Structure 1
Amino acid sequence: MEERQFSEQELVRREKLEFLKERGIDPFGQRFDVTHFSEQIKEEFAGKTHEELEEMAVPVKVAGRIMTKRRKGKVCFMHIQDRDGKIQIYVRKDVIGEEDYEVLIKSDIGDIVGIEGTVFVTNTGELSVKATKYIHLTKALRPLPEKYHGLSDVEERYRRRYVDLIMNEESRKIAFARPKIIRSIQNYLDGQGYVEVETPVLNPILGGAAARPFITHHNTLDTDFYLRIATELSLKRLIVGGMDAVYEIGRLFRNEGMDRTHNPEFTTIEVYKAFSDLEGMMDLTEGIISNAAKVVCGTYDIEYKGHQLSLAPGFKRISMTDAIKEKTGIDFASDMTFEEAKALAEERHIEVEPHFGYGHIINAFFEEYVEETIVEPTFVYGHPIEISPLAKKNLDDPRFTQRFELFICGNEYANAFTELNDPIDQYERFANQLKEKELGNDEANEMDLDYVEALEYGLPPTGGMGMGIDRLVMLLTGQESIQEVILFPQMKPRVK
């Protein structure tokens, strides 16, 4: 094994580790019972005068990482950082004792310490803790980055997220905002009578979405499984079983590209409601997003990608064919043949792949001319049947389905259907997907006979919706890269 090489600073820190051991101090500490966090102290005692705090003599126990330290003789000021932020600590040698003060002198930026003391305010008006006891908790053997403004190498921030969280206040805000957003969704849906459930991550059949899967192997069964690309088919089985209204927040895995809005491992929520439909899912989607904005941002009005947006309920609604007509003048809702649509695509240099039908061409036009132009929250509905194998047909025009996607600032945030509950139609759609797979569409669904059988027991009219949690977090925290909102995103291997 290759011997580790240490920098001069790392060697000095290891020497200090031995110093602690010689003093009978565990370099990596023991339990410390924290009573207050930095933000709590600032909120609770804001506005109190020096005299008032002296009289109150409020005892506190705080702990955190040393971020700054300046010493003058027998007095030391330092800032420690806990989960909420930083707070100043004032230490006097004659109060904590000579031995502990020597340990303090030997401490480094990055060490983790516990402080017992009282709250006071300095002459400059900064709420601080006056230490009565100093406890070493953990020796940091590596120095923190100097002059940190977000590690200069952005990829290194993602690889070493732990350092990023120590040094970057924005990253900490996002890390704490994400679970708050998820909790707001859970609370909203729970209040609407939905039940949160869990479904399998390993699936024997590829289905529920159009995507390339990760494939793994179960040794005992000697069978290949897919990491799930969607939770849809399992959740709709629960509606068949009578659970009425269910949702799942969970990880999905798609063996596809990585960019500013895609990570191969990501989080979604899928929601299904018996006796609902597309309109019901639009209302629910608006409610989820607007409620999350209010909870996390305190307002419906946000700025994203340089645009001022309103996330208040009442999102714009437009059919896919009307949206295309607005941009190109072409009316794909008319009685147009496949050959005419193909000719229009070729005129505009849109590639027509071997498995394409009429609906695929419509979708290609939408992606080329419309998708990136949408700014305000907009429900685009009426997707072609060829690209919607799990959505119910439009009763007036069976070329299209009762499906919508929600777009904001050119990105898709949600996908929803009035669910297809006709088992005969579903079987035919799966069969058509198999034909597409034979023609080269490696994202096509497979035949799921068990799901067809479930539908034969009777799926009530149902509305369903899936939403990307990561993209919603990006929207509500003002981030344009998905790597910023996933604590440990997948990364390319380091170049040696």
Structure 2
Amino acid sequence: MANDQTIRRREKLEMMKSDGMSVYPESFSVNYNLNEAVHLEDGVDGVRIAGRIMSIRNFSHLRFITISNIEGTLQLLLKKDEIGGSLYTQFYHWFDIGDFIGVEGQMYTTKTNEKTLRVKNYVFLGKALRPLPEKWHGLSNVESRYRQRYLDMMMTKETKMRLITRTKLVRSIRNFFEDHHFFEVETPVLQQTSSGAIAMPFKTYHNSLGIELHLRIAPETYLKRLIVGGFTRVFEFAKCFRNEGISPQHLQEFTMVEGYAAYWNYEDTMKLMREMMLYILEDTFQTTKIDIGGQIVDFSLDWNIVSFRDVIFKDTGIDIDLFPEVKDLFQETKNRNINLDHLDIELLGRGNFIDLLYKKVCRPQIITPTFLIQHPIDLSPLARANDKNPAITDRFQLIVNGAEIINAYSELVDPIEQRRRLEEQASLKNNGDAEAMEMDEDYLTAMEYGMPPISGWGFGIERLLMVLTNCETIKDCVSFPLTRKL
């Protein structure tokens, strides 16, 4: 059926061209957006708008047409005695649902209380050669919605609203940091080492230089190089790439917001991140109360603060401090019948094993905003050790609804200690831990020129949007999620 419709639309296109019609005109001047026009007073004349035709209802001497774009929808009225018989008949012969139209007319409200534009003149603005889907919902269409995201944007209100919210969220975050005197910067996507986070990188090859490169997993070490160079407050909207498993909370390509402040510690950053969250909630959603899984969570209330050790002990009964060796900790989880469901679990270092245990057992149970602090040092190769207990770091994560929203810490600025930790990570990688960090000699050299006290943070735009819009899968939080090739 769709193929037959496409054939007929192509035939119409050729006939329109043969009649001298401009089927793909250069432009059309509008004076209102659709979301603005719908709020105009009745009687306002000379309204020029444009959009895609989403529905047509035909009556004997009039037609109601709905046009739409990402921001809004408006009803049009075509009356034969108001636009003339020629234009009225022409619309019937040439226009299809999905085509673009530009119109001029006067606003009024129908008897059913719907804002409508009475069209006095129109212009054809573009032919859709394929018909729009009549129905676009349900599990059977999930993959098609991701593959043809442009159709999902047209047909699914929730998708439209979430992507608009993403744009507003990014603008709000940028405004917040600029208002707090942070410089927005850019750092390389192609890097020679996969440093800045514990994750498996994507690899590529530079033909001219003859070297293997990685797509960055985080902008961290380059942002810190900027601090070495004299910047004191920086942030970046950084495209990052991690070659890790697919899940409702993970993307292999995502947008990270990462920033650093010289002379701060992680407690200063905790205050900033709470202030940021409240600011973007008010600015983007006009409220600090968010519906999360049917529970209203008010971010303006006090946030819980809990240590990594305490949360694992509460949920598993295991005191991780009593198990300095990963093999003993692994055995204790088996003794307690805790199944972590990981293929290469015996190859993990202690830090990554503890992180896996926490993510599988503890994190899903944290719903309200919670600062998780005092991470084991094995889990934080770039974080500063706590002065009183060097086995833990001055670090925090913000957890909401079982998802990590923000990761932050006081940075390690001692180049000798940093070298020792990276050597440990390199040893783990050589022994099979694919997510361990690599040695980064260039970054260590930069550190040796001297670094001030620093605190930094990072968070993913998609993860944040997922939580704040009560979304079940992170794929819905990007415009064009990656799908397997057909």
Normalised to the residue count of structure 1, the TM-score between the two structures is 0.92
CA contact (8 A) 1:151 1:157 kept: no
Specify which of 40, 48, 56 is matched with residue 44 of structure 1: 40
- Gap runs ≥5 in structure 1: 46-52
TM-aligned CA deviation for residue 151 of structure 1: 8.2
CA contact (8 A) 2:256 2:459 kept: yes
* Preserved CA contact (<8 Å) 1:300 1:311: yes
Q: Which residue of 2 aligns with 1:198?
A: 186
- Counterpart of 1:128 in structure 2 is 116
Deviates more, 1:63-72 or 1:198-207: 63-72
TM-fit CA distance, 1:152: 4.3
**2:369 equivalent to 1:369:** no
Query: Quick check: 1:286–1:314 contact (8 Å CA) kept in 2?
Result: no
RMSD of Structure 2 on Structure 1 (CA) = 2.1
Q: How does 1:300-319 map to 2 (within 5 A)?
A: 300-312=288-300, 314-319=302-307
Moved more, 306-315 or 232-241: 306-315
CA contact 2:381–2:421 (8 Å) conserved in 1:
yes
Equivalent residue, structure 2, for 1:50 = none
CA contact 1:29–1:138 (8 Å) conserved in 2: yes
How many Å separate the matches in 1 of 2:457 and 2:215?
Answer: 20
Partners of 1:318 and 1:381 within 8 A in 2:
yes
CA contact (8 A) 1:150 1:164 kept: no
Alignment of 1:273-352 (within 5 A): 273-312=261-300, 314-333=302-321, 341=329, 343-349=331-337
Instruction: Give the equivalent residue in structure 2 for 1:455.
Output: 447
Distance of 1:335 and 1:354 partners within structure 2:
15
Displacement of 1:468 in angstroms is 1.1
Q: Which residue of 1 aligns with 2:483?
A: 491
Query: SS state of the match for residue 76, structure 1?
Result: strand
CA contact (8 A) 1:38 1:82 kept: yes
Find out whether 1:31 has 2:31 as its counterpart: no
Q: Which moved more, 1:149-158 or 1:456-465?
A: 149-158
Q: Aligned with 1:117: secondary structure?
A: strand
CA deviation after TM superposition for structure 1 residue 250, in Å: 1.7
Aligned equivalent of 1:467: 459
**How many Å separate the matches in 2 of 1:114 and 1:357?**
62
- What are the Cα deviations for residues 145-194 of structure 1, in whole angstroms up to 9, with x where unaligned? 11444684111011111111111111111111101001111111111111
Give the deviation of 1:39 after TM superposition: 1.8
Residue in 2 aligned with 1:410? 402
In structure 2, the partner of 1:141 is 129
Whole-angstrom CA distance in 2 between matches of 1:385 and 1:355: 18
Of residues 384-393 and 34-43 in structure 1, the stretch that sits farther from structure 2 once superposed is 34-43
Aligned to 2:91: 104
SS at match of 2:407: strand
2:378 matched residue in structure 1: 386
Match of 1:9 in 2: 5
2:107 aligned residue: 119
**Is 2:104–2:122's contact at 8 Å kept on the other side of the alignment?**
yes
The amino acid across from 2:396 in the alignment is F
Residue 365 and residue 148 in structure 1: after superposition, are their counterparts in 2 closer, same or farther (change >3 A)?
A: closer
Q: Distance in 1 between matches of 2:224 and 2:411?
A: 9
Equivalent residue for 1:177? 165
Is the 8 Å Cα contact of residues 150 and 157 (structure 1) preserved in structure 2? no
The residue number in structure 2 matching 1:48 is none
Whole-Å separation in 1 of the counterparts to 2:348 and 2:8: 66
Match of 1:478 among 465, 470, 474: 470
* Segment drifting more, 171-180 vs 95-104: 95-104
Which residue does the alignment assign to 1:445? 437
How many Å separate the matches in 2 of 1:339 and 1:62? Answer: 68
Matched letter for residue 189 of structure 1: F
Where does 1:227-246 land on structure 2 (aligned, <5 Å)? 227-246=215-234
| C-alpha distance in 2 between matches for 1:63 and 1:112 | 7
In the alignment, the residues of structure 1 paired with residue 378 and residue 269 of structure 2 have an alpha-carbon distance, to the nearest angstrom, of 22
Percent of pairs with identical residues: 39
Give yes or no for contact 2:351–2:376 (8 Å, CA) kept in 1: yes
Q: CA deviation at 1:342?
A: 5.1
Q: For residue 68 of structure 1, report the CA deviation from its aligned partner.
A: 1.6
2:49 matched residue in structure 1: 62
Secondary structure, in 3 states, of the residue corresponding to 1:246?
A: strand
Moved more, 345-354 or 284-293: 345-354
Q: Conserved in 1, the CA contact under 8 Å of 2:288 and 2:298?
A: yes
Tell whether 2:88 aligns with 1:92: no
Structure 1 CA distance, aligned partners of 2:50 and 2:63?
Answer: 17
The residue aligned with 1:254 is: 242
Q: Verify the 8 A CA contact 1:117 1:129 in the aligned structure 2.
A: yes
Gaps of 5+ in 2: none
- Which deviates more from structure 2 when the two are superposed, residues 69-78 or residues 210-219? 69-78
Q: Which amino acid aligns with 1:39?
A: N
Greater Cα offset, 98-107 or 220-229 = 98-107
Spell out the pairing of 1:185-224 with structure 2 (5 A cutoff).
Answer: 185-224=173-212
Query: Measured at CA, do residues 237 and 317 of structure 1 come closer, stay the same or move farther in structure 2, by a change above 3 Å?
Result: same
Measure the CA separation in 2 of the matches of 1:395 and 1:454.
Answer: 24
Inter-CA distance 108–358: structure 2 relative to 1 (3 Å threshold): closer
Equivalent-residue separation in structure 1 for 2:202 and 2:420 (angstroms)? 26
